[in-house]
Structure 1
């Protein structure tokens, strides 16, 4: 039976899902952006080639990305408990979400930065720009539209992961869908949570693409 308690539960689930998605993506970028920059600069054609560093970062990225999120979530339970104090709930879910998202984000950052025209980089070098200046004033600026687009993709991916975390008590709409739609056979709640997840995905995607179009227009 749908009542005010159910409505409040759904509203709280929306807030928890947005909280997990946005915070996890933010911290994922705090780790993934530097990692992506290092992957770009240490590559054989990068600003400062370093085969050893590149291979280490490449291996870390590939290994973490190859582990299914639900398995990674379970493997990280001891780490999550040490950081947050518990292994379930919305805040606890952020830990595995960040660790899962960071290498994925790093790869997207690397891809975006490598799209920058080599001629622009060479021009900056000829003007005496340092490596740090090239990274922050050339690479990141020139790749900003692609970076925003990829950030939008990352938000959508983390949103999907947060929903999967609901199967093990991660909170949010995913948890509601599992607890009520699966275990209690309340199909109406299941359908509502799925629709809300789709709406959230569309909001994140459309907002990110709108910002990317504005930046691309300014760049042009």
Structure 2
């Protein structure tokens, strides 16, 4: 779910940067600015973006379907995709995923949006009802494979995903895949930003969902 870097890792990162920068191509004035304004440089964001630089926001992202998402590998033993009806045990039947999302090999971020499906004047909605309302729309519900792509590539996130909603952290859910936890509960993966770092977690569909728990959909 994202954890702070260890002391040993921090030393290794510094060493890796030192060994792999082509110093002959570094501008002297730019280097001096970094020396004098290290606190202003977005060094932390650069490392959290896996040392990638991007100008502006990306618009098209590629989804690697050659490596399917595996709940047990990503989260831990006992996790799986939910199978069969919502009121079953989740162990047999068809995997509960949005087939339209699974067919995507790329996503146009300009066509994505965050949905809450809250009725006017309401501040929360029960998770299963939320899912039913989402499926009644024509929107594609983004699946766990898309979630993993965004998790592994923080620089792909649109700015609106990083902003707070009503003063609270915005948790972006990926309801195109319903997971089963080791206790037999129905869960959905989500991403959120805190202190300039990306984290992941999961929410139970049996819980209430608020306006700061939107779902990433593709129009």
Q: Which structure has the highest helix share of the two?
A: 1
Name the structure with the higher strand share: 2
Asked whether the two chains share a fold, i.e. TM above 0.5, the reply is no
TMscore range, shorter length = under 0.3
TM-score, scaled relative to structure 1: 0.27
User: TM-score if structure 2 supplies the norm length?
Assistant: 0.27
